[in-house]
Structure 1
Amino acid sequence: MERNLTHIALFAALIAVLGLIPKIDLAAGVPITAQSLGIMLCGTVLGAKRGALAVLLFLALVAAGLPLLSGGRGGIGVFAGPSVGFLIGFPVAAFVTGWLMERTSLSPMVAATAASVIGGIGVLYVFGIIGMSVMLDKTLGEAAFLSAAFLPGDAVKAVIAGLVTQSLSRMRPASLLSRA
């Protein structure tokens, strides 16, 4: 139990640290950040349940007012902006990414990259596009078009998640809780 709590807190902190990388603002008001890499790693390393719990802890800290999102944003107000769909989708994306990791016997690199693409990009974009559509008063097609700007960077993050997961698997196989 203590070990699980430590892992959950550690990965919540990882997501926060990835928010220190300067954000790049897009015209839609949703920034490009490195934090989605943390969401992917929560799933690929911790697995479905622990990964989602780490993200929920991170979001609770953000809602409590800690400036943990990129650009030093925090507080309940961030859940009323154009990125609300992505924030709501974070724990679901981590869960799906972890769930996929837990159920495949592919190599950690291939499994983590594929799970990150499906969960960390596909699932997250469903929530993000809906959130942008509602908050920006755009059609789903217009919001999807705006979200396309994130795809190249997110594809790179999925590969990085695969590489990090593969490295952890080789160096410390027991640390890959999604495969335990």
Structure 2
Amino acid sequence: MTASTRDSSATLGRVAVFAALIIVLGTVVVPLPGGVPITGQTLGVMLAGLVLGPRVAPWSIALVLALAAVGLPVLAGGRGGLGVFVGPTVGYLIGWIAGVVVIGLLMRTGRFTWWRCAVAALVGGVFVVYAFGIPVQALVTGVPLDLTALSSLAFLPGDLIKVTAATLIVVTLRRAYPRAFADSRRGRELATA
């Protein structure tokens, strides 16, 4: 097996592992009025961006969305099928892709630190996802944008808890197993930060 084939296989494995993690975290659901539940899946999205980086993480999200599109119950609350792509959550799903790219880019702009990790998870995993999700939710539900944004504040405490959890998990993983990260070639030097 060549090094290139081994790297490709490892990358595919990492994509699958994070897609599975996102799916499993979808079983953690707190329903809210308005059709958009609080879910553990966004924690998985944050972790994918933080660990896999801006090039690989979107493939994990794309895999989850492809599985949902063919009807598998992989989204929060066991949802799947093409109907989820015309419902109030579709903007958030699209935001996951942009969010992991932003998270990955922010993590790659400098030396690994816990605060960079927290900022990346907050900006990409919350602000970017909301930037896509809130306007589309308003459009689909017919609720004015300002009211939709105001109602989205109900998600903020849970999302801040997920940012904290993602930061703690990633900092611990980075110290224990730096090879797990997209930049594993530099992992040893970065793990000492």
TM-score range, shorter chain: over 0.9
Offset, 1:125 = 0.3
TM-score (norm 2): 0.89
Give TM-score scaled by structure 1 length. Answer: 0.95
Secondary structure at the aligned position of 1:26 is classed as coil
**How has the CA–CA distance of structure 1 residues 178 and 133 changed in structure 2, closer, same or farther, with 3 Å as cutoff?**
farther
Q: Percent identity?
A: 43
Matches within 5 A, 1:42-61: 42-61=48-67
One-letter amino acid of the structure 1 residue matched with residue 172 of structure 2: S
In the alignment of these two chains, the number of paired residues is 178
Deviation per CA, 1:87-117: give whole Å up to 9, x if none: 111111111111111112241x222111000
Q: State which of 12, 16, 19 in structure 1 corresponds to 2:23.
A: 16
Instruction: Note the C-alpha offset of 1:158.
Output: 0.6
How far apart are the structure 2 equivalents of 1:178 and 1:34?
Answer: 26
Structure 1 position 173, deviation (Å): 1.2
Give the Cα–Cα distance (whole angstroms) in 2 for the partners of residues 178 and 60 of structure 1.
26
Q: Which residue pairs with 1:89 in the alignment?
A: 95
2:159 is paired with a residue whose SS is: helix
2:143 aligned with 1:138: yes
Deviations 1:64-90 (A, max 9, x none): 111011211101101111111101111
Which amino acid letter does the alignment assign opposite residue 134 of structure 2? I
- What is aligned with 2:104? 98
Q: 2:160 aligns with which of 151, 155, 158?
A: 155
User: Once the 2 structures are TM-superposed, how far is the Cα of residue 34 of structure 1 from its aligned partner?
Assistant: 0.3
Hey, what's the Cα distance between the residues in 2 that align with 1:133 and 1:4?
37
**CA–CA separation in structure 2 for the residues paired with 1:10 and 1:106:** 23
Higher RCO (CA < 8 A, seq sep 6+) = 1
Structure 1: segments with no counterpart, 5+ residues? none
1:169 aligns with 2:150: no
> Deviating runs (4+, > 2 A) in structure 1?
none
1:67 aligns with 2:100: no
**Greater Rg by CA:** 2
For the aligned residue pairs, the C-alpha RMSD in angstroms reads 1.1
